[in-house]
Structure 1
């Protein structure tokens, strides 16, 4: 596994300093806004917005489709797309129309009453993912938390198993990794953990069926919570037969299986669940299904829904821990229905996946042309270039292959020339408005960056 990424470090640092200087010169209003934000913790609305390749974040003025314009008037081709939240594009017209009608014509932003939009959205999610019973949240993190509580209740088991370096939002049980001795340990940087994560969770490497079975054999795992492909540590794709093996083992040990499709929704209209013909007991999802409006959801198998509904000892109505006053509100339901019916359609995914395939092929050709030890991974409409070849097979390998200096350089180099990647890694996501001209623009800049790096 390459750790130096095949790049001269002195040259990299010199070029990075030049690019950061250019960034500062081109974003005076963003710099000023950041400096003046004294009453925001970390100077940003959410502290993860400080993940930037420069010394301050870009401040948004407006966004439409796959274009963003900042407060300094700089326009960007956006391949970040809100780290999946804007996979439908920024402010897609059907969503804007549905939300505007709900707010202006009908009224009722938050009523704690059901709407017909929710039933239509639930039916569409059931059609796409194959699970019949759906409930809504405000975020995928909430959907995961609620699913965990339900499965602990129905099994009487306490522990949740996840993959090392997975991403399921800020779910406490997911912040566990495989340590150097092969045992689970708290993930570095875990903030204010309420308890030792090894008391609530078990962990296995992605693509490791032997390790998974070893952990499940303890008999205390209520559910395996997993992404069908790891995404937030860089895309890690499943080996042939791995996902089928996971399903076989969970059934063998009486453990439920949750597919978190929040990022893997990029695989197609029914996410990785439909694309790879998977059969989970629960699907959780969020971000993209609301077209940019906050929403999360979880879907249950009929067997599981019936088992839970028949439990008179579970308070599923009042203080049972599976609700939220604003969840399922009329605005988010209108947005979700519009997104699923009119924006992230089968035709849209055909276009997005075709564009992503061209993106991946072009990047591979450029990397090969410079003889760099890098690789490219693609999951439907999502593409990632990795500083390792072959591509990592699990989360620990993926974490070890990271190169923060090189990543930051490429991000600021691209930003200075009008292209944005997701700030967390080298992920490029396509939306319905992404064009081949946008792909070519990225590749032109990427090629220029590598030419300077390898000169």
Structure 2
């Protein structure tokens, strides 16, 4: 049979199924299509965010504003029902409409949503961030992108160095320095991003994940202010650290005086304290975003004791007696607003608890096992990877070591078909890659629904 390069499936069969699934989507999502057409008259890309056009059906599903119980299920304007494993690409990791979050938002909204003043929830949240993640000093922002940019600014400030080192295939939000990747050894902008007049050649440095010799050479040049890294790469396809990689990363950053920033925006799913506490990493700065306030735009960054003391040498913690700006190059009037802090307290105290993570991890194991069982029954060279409560279907037999490995196995046509086939049968996964996430509101029936649909997908593909 005719096969695609890496996936051992018939390319003609993929095209045939895609045509059928696109016709099915058009027939069963007509109202959403009409709303999207109307949206093109006011939105730059047809919907409030240009990311919303990334759904493979041709237009996004429009969610119906209908009463429902807490969990991961909802209906669209065409009357289709869904179980949601996308969960806002992690932003909805608490599930949809958790009563504790709803109550906290309603309570604080009656008092005031943005006051430029701390509330009674603030100290509790600060103490809990310190307890969970192990770093003593914290600051809130409105997004993980903002938190990463703040960490970069502070790292440059205390080191006097210009460059930011990232790993090829990374994603750290809208951080300009992280818009680079390696392709056959050459540095280029990822995803065709416009350079935006940013001097990437002067301020960015990129190496492959798990490549310790390349990392050492890059850091020993002496011009890197910080390494910005996920502990497990999650956005290009799940890429796990090889044994000893994090130990080498920490040793090399300390030897070269480089600040280590760990971005746990996605890997928070590893447990109550994220991957960092689960594996006893020791970052100088730590970023967590998206899920931390139950879907309300928010993020936080923490600093180690030694790093905070270096920052205070330049930016003292006590306001000066002479009135001057406290902007410091990062922040914003909505950072740390009262509504966000109220939601954070509800999330950290009642939603993303130790017990909730135990359940999420068990469900994700069930999800992974179901995917692997379906793959094994058809003898396909694929596997499901898992990091905490995150699961991803990878079209390769072996675990990839870096983005170059992953690039060889990516199959856009097959990925698109997988997404659309699932969506047409009421299962949502993240549209940018094959990520699935279990949350406190996920039920065993939800996992089994996905696994049954995935098994039908594999069966149809191999027919």
Range of TM-score over shorter length? over 0.9
Cα deviation code 1:287-331 (max 9, x no counterpart): 001111110110001111122122259999533212101110000
Take 1:333 and 1:163, find their aligned partners in 2: how far apart are those partners?
A: 32
For normalisation by structure 2, the TM-score amounts to 0.95
Take 1:370 and 1:276, find their aligned partners in 2: how far apart are those partners?
A: 35
- 8 A Cα contact 1:140 1:286, kept in partner: yes
The residue that corresponds to 1:155 in the other structure is: 159
Matched, 1:429 2:432: no
The residue that corresponds to 1:125 in the other structure is: 129
> What pairs up with 1:68-79 in 2 under 5 angstroms?
68-79=74-85
Take 1:3 and 1:171, find their aligned partners in 2: how far apart are those partners?
A: 33
Matched, 1:17 2:19: yes
Extract unaligned runs of 5+ from structure 2. Answer: none
Cα deviation code 1:256-277 (max 9, x no counterpart): 1000000000111100101111
Extract unaligned runs of 5+ from structure 1. Answer: none
Deviation at 1:183, TM superposition (A): 4.5
Take 1:312 and 1:338, find their aligned partners in 2: how far apart are those partners?
A: 32
Deviation at 1:192, TM superposition (A): 4.2
Matched, 1:170 2:174: yes
The residue that corresponds to 1:85 in the other structure is: 91
- 8 A Cα contact 2:220 2:256, kept in partner: yes
Aligned residues: 451
Counterpart pick for 1:277 among 277, 280, 295: 280
The residue that corresponds to 2:71 in the other structure is: 65
- 8 A Cα contact 2:232 2:267, kept in partner: yes
Cα deviation code 1:34-81 (max 9, x no counterpart): 011111011011111111111111011247421121111211000000
- 8 A Cα contact 2:85 2:428, kept in partner: yes
Counterpart pick for 1:406 among 414, 418, 427: 414
- 8 A Cα contact 2:415 2:433, kept in partner: yes
C-alpha root-mean-square deviation of aligned residues, in Å? 1.6
Cα deviation code 1:179-237 (max 9, x no counterpart): 32x34332241234232312111111111111100100110001100000000111111
- 8 A Cα contact 1:68 1:76, kept in partner: yes
SS at match of 1:42: coil
- For the structure 1 residues 249 and 125, does the alpha-carbon distance in structure 2 shift closer, same or farther, using more than 3 Å as the test? same
Matched, 1:94 2:104: no
SS at match of 2:392: strand
- 8 A Cα contact 1:154 1:308, kept in partner: yes
> What pairs up with 1:377-392 in 2 under 5 angstroms?
377-392=385-400
- 8 A Cα contact 1:207 1:394, kept in partner: yes
Deviation at 1:408, TM superposition (A): 1.2
Matched, 1:196 2:196: no
